[in-house]
């Protein structure tokens, strides 16, 4: 499967609560995510992060706004949406919807992402949740 198709499958799984365990097929066991606080290297740390994220935003989805592929690198401009259902960064759950734009750079090896750099607008996220 091409890296592009691997990513597209993972994005579909991300937004489907029943298929979310399959989302992690995107990543190698030694994955390193940059741009997120508190996520250590390795797949187990990434799983812990996303499982917590999905508890807070159970309807979370990712829309791809633009995708560029160059060899084993994908650059994705994306928008994450969801509805807050649990406390997040000290902000109580009030059912507020989020729309968070971001950009990610994914490096692939043997059909799996082993390193990802992501940048998103955290201030926008906090402002949306605080309302």
Residue 131 has a pLDDT of 85
Residue 62 has a pLDDT of 98
CATH of 3-130, one of 3.10.450.50, 3.30.70.1880, 1.10.3720.10, 3.30.565.10: 3.10.450.50
Residue 82 has a pLDDT of 98
Residue 37 has a pLDDT of 87
Q: Is 40 helix (H, G, I), strand (E, B) or coil?
A: coil
Residue 85 has a pLDDT of 98
Give the chain's residues under pLDDT 50. none
Residue 33 has a pLDDT of 98
Residue 107 has a pLDDT of 98
Cβ atoms of 84 and 129 closer than 8 Å: yes
How is the chain split into domains, by residue range?
3-130
């Amino acid at each position: 499967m091409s890296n592009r198709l691997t990513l597209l499958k993972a994005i579909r799984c991300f937004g489907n609560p029943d298929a979310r365990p399959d989302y992690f097929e995107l990543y190698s066991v030694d994955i390193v995510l940059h741009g997120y606080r508190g996520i250590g290297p390795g797949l187990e740390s990434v799983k812990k992060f996303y499982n917590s994220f999905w508890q807070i935003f159970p309807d979370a989805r990712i829309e791809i706004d633009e995708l560029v592929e160059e060899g084993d690198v994908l650059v994705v401009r994306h928008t994450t949406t969801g509805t807050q259902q649990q406390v997040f960064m000290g902000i109580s759950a009030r059912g507020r919807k989020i729309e968070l734009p971001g950009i990610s750079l994914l490096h692939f090896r043997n059909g799996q992402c082993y390193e990802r750099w992501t940048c998103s607008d955290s201030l926008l996220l906090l402002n949306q949740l605080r309302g």
